[in-house]
Amino acid sequence: MLRRPRRLRSTKAIRNLVRETKLQIEDLIYPLFIVDGENIKREIPSMEGVYHFSVDMLEDEIKELTELGIEHVLLFGVPDDEKKDCCASEAFNPEGAVQRAVRKIKEINPQMDVICDVCMCEYTDHGHCGILTDSGYVHNDKTLNYLGKIALSYAESGADMVAPSDMMDGRIGALRNALDENGYETVAIMAYSAKYASAFYGPFRDAANSAPAFGDRKTYQMDPANSNEAMIEADLDIAEGADIIMVKPALSYLDIIRRFKDNYDLPIAAYNVSGEYSMLKEAVKKGLLSEDAIYEAVMSIKRAGATIIITYFAKDIAKLINTKK
C-alpha cells in the first residue's frame, strides 16, 4: 500500500506539523456594542458573555483584549430611543457614543485597530437602513449621502476603518469619495459585500435594538438562495474601492466564502454572527456539545477561505490559542 494517510495522523506532533489551517489571534475582530450613559456594563440577554458598554466602562475591556493579543475591534452604536429619528442624525453626531468610544479606545491603546460599522438601522426611528420614501421603501440614492456623513464622522473621530453594512447600491464609491474629498485617503473600507437577509441575526437585533418597525430588509439584503449574486456584489464593491470584502453570515455561507477566495485577491472577511454564536453557546451550556465545537466552527470559516473573522468568540479563541503556546 503506497499511500497510508494515517501515517501523518500517528502523533500529535506530526498532526501539528501537517495541519493545513491554523487559527491565529491576528485573524480575529471582536465586536463591541456602545451605549449612551455612564457606568454601564450590561450583559445582553440573548448573547451570554457579550455586553453593552458605556464609553467610561471600556478601559478594562480594551486592556483585556490587548493582553489577549486581539488587535481589532468593530464598534456598533446603540443610542437611546429618544435620539432616533428618520435620518439617523445621531450616527453622525461628533459627540455620539461611537465617536467618543473611538477616541477613548485610541487613548487607552493607540495601536488598537478601530473599525466602525456604518449603517442607519440602529439610529432610525423606523429601524430600516436608510431614508424612507412615503411608501416605506428605502430610497437608495438619498441614503448614500447620509452614509457618507456617518463614515466621515467616524474617520474624524480617529477610526482606522469603516465597514458599511447597509447594502445600498453604490455605497462603497460614495463612502470612498466622502473620505477622500476630506483628506481621509488612508481610512480603509471593509465592505459587507454579501450580506444576506438571514434568520441568524436575531440576537444582534436584540443587542443593537435595531429590528425594523415594519416589514423586513429583503429589498436590500441578499436572498439566502443566491450565490452568483454575491459575486456581482463583490465585483461592484471592488470596482468602487473596497479594501476588504465580507460575507455575512459565515457558517451557513461557507460556499460563498470559498467562491470569494477562489476569485478575488483582496482580503476576505467573514462575520460569525450573533445567531451562530448563541446557538453554539447554548449547545455547550446544555452539554450537547463540548467547547471544542467552538474552535472547530470558527476554524471552518478560515478553512473555507476567510483571512479575517469577526466573531463574538474572539476572546475564547484567543485564550485557547494562548494556552497552547
Active site residues: 195, 248
Angle formed at CA 30 by CA 149 and CA 120, multiple of 5 degrees: 25
> What does the alpha-carbon distance between residue 260 and residue 254 come to, in Å, rounded to a whole number?
10
Residue 151 CB neighbours (<10 A): 28
Distances (CA, A) of 321 to 10, 25, 91, 302: 22, 7, 36, 15
Cβ contacts of 156 within 8 Å, gap of 6 or more: 94, 99, 182, 184
DSSP for 229-270, written as a single string: HHHHHHHHHHHHT-SEEEEESSGGGHHHHHHHHHH--S-EEE
Of 122, 214, 231, 220, give the one whose Cα is nearest residue 171: 220
3-state secondary structure 95-164: CCHHHHHHHHHHHHCCCCEEEEEECCCCCECCCCCCEECCCCCEEHHHHHHHHHHHHHHHHHHCCCEEEE
Contact 49, 281 (CB under 8 A): yes
Cα(182)–Cα(198) distance, integer angstroms: 35
Give 302's DSSP letter: H
Pairing of strands 113-118, 41-44: unpaired
In order of 34, 48, 201, 237, the CA distances from 277 in angstroms are 19, 9, 10, 27
